[in-house]
A = this chain, B = another copy of it.
Amino acid sequence: MSPVKKTRAAARVEQIETIKDVSRRLLAEKGVTGLSLREVAREMGLVSSALYRYFATRDELLTALILDAYNDLGSAVERADRRSVTLSSRRRWHAATRAIRRWAKSHPHEYALIYGTPVPNYVAPELTIEAATRVSGALARILSDDWARRPPTRTTASTANIRTFLIVDNIRELLPDVPPDHYVKALIAWTHVFGFINFELFGQYVGTVRNADVMFDRVMDEIADFLELGD
């Protein structure tokens, strides 16, 4: 209502931003378990109880960080895709998946926060689901665009069978030009991007993979074949 926001509200959002920034720094240094409200407060020259004016609980702060992480990753992959949108589908796929992995490796703890073990008792708020869709949406667009360019030989198989195990309405929104009988392949591709990064970051590839950079490209190429992406 007031023409100009006064210092009060501005100071609040600024304070919230500071809390999240400090938290992100401590998160990067010591991981989730090492992130404590008291230390954040200490760093800010505040007493711990003051933080509760902004976040009712530690989990609430973590949820905010998760949301930001999803959006940060989301915009990173969107940016990468924007740069390569004129190239072939295969190159777009490589650019996008590389961007995801790159973000993951430079923000390992934030990545673990969103794609690792759910922190408290796992209840994904609606907002995080929406933010999470940004990154999968970017990948989906590449695949859907590719199908839009393919010769229209599609068989348009019935979705009746697929409906038993997939929520096709939600998927169709993301893959408007992909025939439903390819939804499973698309989900496999999506799953594999994060399956690889999880295994790499969480140490499962120790002893088998020597150079994960090269391996990732090879695997993503194999997935592109699997998706029959245009070259």
Contact = CB atoms under 8 A, between A and B. Distances in A.
A173 B183 CA distance: 36
A45 interface: no
Given A191-B196, A196-B191, A206 B129 contact: yes
Contact of A166 (B166, B196, B204, B210): B210
Interface string A155-181: 000000001111100110000000000
Copies of this chain: 2
A86 interface: no
A202 B166 contact: no
Contacts of A171: 208
Interface in A181-202: 184-185, 187-188, 191-192, 194-196, 198-199, 202
Interface of A: 31-33, 112, 115-118, 120-122, 124, 129, 132, 163-167, 170-171, 184-185, 187-188, 191-192, 194-196, 198-199, 202-204, 206-215, 218-219, 222-223, 226
